[in-house]
Structure 1
Amino acid sequence: MSKMPFLPYRNNPTIDKYFMFSVGDLVQQRRRTEPARPIQRLGPNLFAANGIAVLIRYANDKELRHLEQHKYRRCYYLIDDDLKNLDTDDYLPIDYRFRLQHFHDTSLSRILELATDVITPNQRILTRFPDHRHHLLNPSHPHFSEDLSHFDKTDQIRILYSGTRSHYQDLELVSDVLSEIAAANPAVQITTFFGRHAPAALKGKANIVHRKQARWPDYQKVMATERFHLALAPLIEANFNLGRSVNKILDHAAFGAAGCYSSIDPIKSHISDGINGFLVPPCQDKWLERMKDFLKDPKGAKMVAAEGIALARKLADPQQNRAFWTQHLDLG
């Protein structure tokens, strides 16, 4: 099998969480062949071992040409978003939706002609690919908070919204709620990663901080070092959201926070309300009520955070994903 030129490719969250966190030590990192690392990286999104290819999320033209020119025994395609109905579903920001639609219209059909198997974290997505072999795989994460001592100090109560711009309408669902909570509770500090894109209702508040969306390596450092009491994942019941993964459970566990989620799939099937997270119907009144309840006893959420971390470890064990790739790449 001929090799494409080696480049020090940057990983993105999808590549790390579904692949590199579990088998990164088996991926060749240098120009020369490394027997202890049987997986070749052939492009930013493309990997191969033992005549089997793995394509993760996207593909550039060079990667597609390589797949077309080489006869792999199998080609696994991993996709973690439901791209159906992008043209009619206005849930996503228009620029983000257009980028996904362009990928859907220009590259996805070529990828599916080459792929033998589709891997996703969500059964709903698998139904979009009836002509391929199916596999379910959760994202993984190597580190979750070991220390919950921040719950013993509630002079400042830290609340996190970690969603990116694709979650703009989800944040808008609770923006008035968060504005009211911040105004009534000076000890509360709310943090987002929306920067200048934050909803108007959340701007100009001294105790609401809007950081710029962090680069993935920087965001990992933030997860490793900063701690929050409560982390929010309000989700509108839109097609795109119903096809998401359990990723927010993992993020919240990394931050050591009790997670608060809209009671929709796929999250609700994993959360026992008040035990390993909080479930809230996707409406403003219910979110306001639940957050007021939390603020009455923030220390009481410590056990919820601990159980959420235990859940994340179960859902996102890198060793489980390593076993998956070892089997499907014939790594023995």
Structure 2
Amino acid sequence: MMSTDSSSSQWVVIQERENPSFDFFVRPKLSAMHADWQCVLLAETPNQCLTSHETDESEPGEKLNLLFVRYMNKTWRTWIKNNRQKIASIVLFIDDDLLDWQATSGLTIRYRWKLWNYALKHQRFLRDIGAQLWVANHYLAKKYASWQPVVCPPSTWQAQTITQTIFYHGSASHKQEFLWLKPLFERLLCDFPHLSIEIIGDGETNLLFRHLPRVHVLHPMSWPNYRALLARGGRHIGLAPLLDSQFNAARSCTKFYDITQAGAVGVYAEHPAYRDQVIDQVNGLVVPMDHERWYNAIAMLLKDQNYYKSLLARNVVDKE
């Protein structure tokens, strides 16, 4: 069996995406070992994602410890076969019973196929090369005792502090506005690490924004449920972009009332729909549909709390 005693060499954590398995179990284990690690995605090409390791300040010839969180694939398996001399150890971590086909009975066919393709069919290979098994609980440790597994005790994790939330509650008629907002959201999330964004949209909208951190896409809902959502609070800046189109020419001021009922400050498109409700820099911001100007307007609200509060104080409607 390959040794995993050395915590001084580089660990490469391979995972499908950011996930609770790593945060609750694997990260605490590596931290307790005082290990140096980097995380890469399972879908990445090994030679590409490991280049940074080979070019950093690590010792010449230093070997890698590879740690697969739940899953591995054929590409990584082939790389391991061809690069055994570069590998100090290989570990598979599981927090569900991913290695017993019978245990997956009752799950959907699609999920069973995933478990077979990314876990089950690699079990023999991992055992044959002397990989170590880390598990999340004593049930798994007992079941796979022949593998001499290591139990990783769970630990709490520190949630990222979110202090400001932007929201855009669009609908199926706002496809172009969603596309327009995408680069704006990418820039804001990069520049403001304590910012989250809430969107209402369909599956297509979710696909558009799923790569971004701290973006929450809610399903469309009934009007009574939406009213209750707004009453829950916790939103700071509401967005009401409108691009020029024949359909948008007839838009009404609904978004103004949504934003004010949510207790937020609104950033509105320079559009006739808001002309009678919004006075620029009095009870909201009216901004032409230009990415740079929208970014600057939102950034000012995020940075200057006195400015934000002055607009919020005058942004009141009758909630009765």
* Higher RCO (CA < 8 A, seq sep 6+): 1
| TM-score when normalising by structure 2 | 0.46
